[in-house]
Amino acid sequence: MNAFQDHYPDNVAHCYGCGRLNKSGHQIKTVWDGDETVTRFTPEPYQRSVPGLAYGGLIASLIDCHSTGTAAAAMYRQEGRSLDTLPAFRFVTGSLRVEFLKPTPIDGPIEIRGRVKEIKGRKVIVETTVMAGGITTARGVVVAVQMPEAFGAA
């Protein structure tokens, strides 16, 4: 129970990318590493673009959920609260930008590292770097927005 996603309230823990209750999804796990956040994910062989390389949509998805998780953790940290305290912080994506720099090898773990660039009211801007096989293959910027109350009500 150390990852940010382990503390998402049950009603908002169904996301395909990061919900621990979504049995079909990626179930990514993100943790602090000093001032950075880290997610490590090993793709399945079918999550490819061409044989040997990871699918760009997967990279975008990992950046997306890594960043909303980072945004939540950053808000807890700013308030000096631990992740298991209420009310819970949970974020959605306002915008996502990915620059694909190089092909991402599929035959090993992909590491996403994030940094909080700015916290402004209900918005958090997170910058990420994607590494695989020792090389930086993509960069991302996400504007994460605190989730409206209605989102978890269904």
Which residues sit at the interface with its own copies, rule CB under 8 A?
Answer: 11-12, 14-17, 22-25, 44, 46-53, 55-58, 60-62, 64-65, 92-100, 103, 151-152, 154
Least distance CB 30 / its own copies (angstroms): 14
Q: For residue 120, list its beta bridge partners.
A: 123
Least distance CB 53 / its own copies (angstroms): 7
Nearer to its own copies among residue 79 and residue 151 (C-beta): 151
Least distance CB 85 / its own copies (angstroms): 21
Nearer to its own copies among residue 108 and residue 151 (C-beta): 151
User: Is residue 25 classed exposed, middle or buried when 0-12, 13-18 and 19+ CB atoms within 10 A define those classes?
Assistant: middle
Nearer to its own copies among residue 34 and residue 45 (C-beta): 45
Question: Under the phi-then-psi rule, with left for phi > 0, alpha for psi from -120 to 50, and beta for the rest, what region is 123?
Answer: beta
Q: Report the C-alpha dihedral over residues 42, 47, 49, 51, rounded to 10 degrees.
A: 80
CA 90 – CA 75 distance, rounded (Å): 9
